[in-house]
Chain A
Amino acid sequence: MITFYLMAALFLLATILLGLIRVLRGPGSGDRMLAAQLFGTTGVTILLLLSMTLETPALVDVALVFALLAVVAAVAFVRQHGLPEPSGTPVHQRKNDQKTESDDDR
């Protein structure tokens, strides 16, 4: 059983490293944030599997803390200082006057 848990953990670690390709390529910041979110869930799973392998029940607490705080980075990402609040109008339907702002930013 322990060998099986370890193989599963190793497989999940490999998916994290593969997923890094999406972080490196992007292209948008939303893509990168999503990848980080997936890594968080995968990390929780690896911790749970390792807690069975290494027989350290405290690792379940580490997984619990990761699961609890997984949302903080995503909320920070979307609710940053200085961003105009979402107006509900998709960006591709807006007129030019609103788009200049992000062009300026670039």
Chain B
Amino acid sequence: MIANTLTVILILAGLVFFAAGTAGLLRFPDVYSRLHALTKADNVGLGLVILGLMLQAAGPADILKLLLIWVLVLAAGTTAAHMVAQRTWTHGEFESDR
């Protein structure tokens, strides 16, 4: 019962971060601020959802797999943010798309 309540709270908190990330993606003025919004927001969002799901996991193997997914997404998010920022910084924001 307590686990279920905690799961619901954690997942709801995670969803707030996803909503904030999407809002930032849509509303922020340039690519650097959008990057800031979503790479932080969605990784914390996924982290909270995974924390919530860990409380429901069947055993230690499942918990470790969920943790691995989070670590991988963190690494991917960090790298992608760095790469996009680097390319935009050195090649220009409004580069040709053709």
**Which residues does A use to contact B, with CB under 8 Å?**
1, 4-5, 8, 11-12, 15, 18-19, 21-22, 26-31, 33-35, 37-38, 40-42, 44-45, 48-49, 52, 57, 60, 63-64, 67-68, 70-71, 74-75, 77-79, 83, 86-92, 102, 105-106
Interface on chain B toward A: helix, strand, loop, or mixed SS?
A: helix
Indicate if the CB atoms of A34 and B22 lie closer than 8 Å: no
With an 8 Å Cβ cutoff, the count of chain B residues facing the other chain is 55
6 interchain residue pairs of minimum CB distance: A74-B80, A70-B76, A91-B92, A78-B83, A86-B90, A67-B72
Please give, as numbers and ranges, the residues of chain B lying within 8 Å of A22 by CB-CB distance. 25-26, 34
Q: A15-B22, A34-B84, A86-B86 are in contact. Are A63 and B11 (CB under 8 A)?
A: no
Q: How far is the CA of A92 from the CA of B11 in the complex (A)?
A: 42
Contact, CB under 8 Å: B22 / A38 = yes
Contact of A31 with B31 at beta-carbon distance under 8 Å, contacts A38-B25, A70-B76 already known: yes
Q: 8 Å CB contacts to A: which residues of B1-28?
A: 4, 7-8, 11-12, 14-15, 18-19, 21-22, 25-26
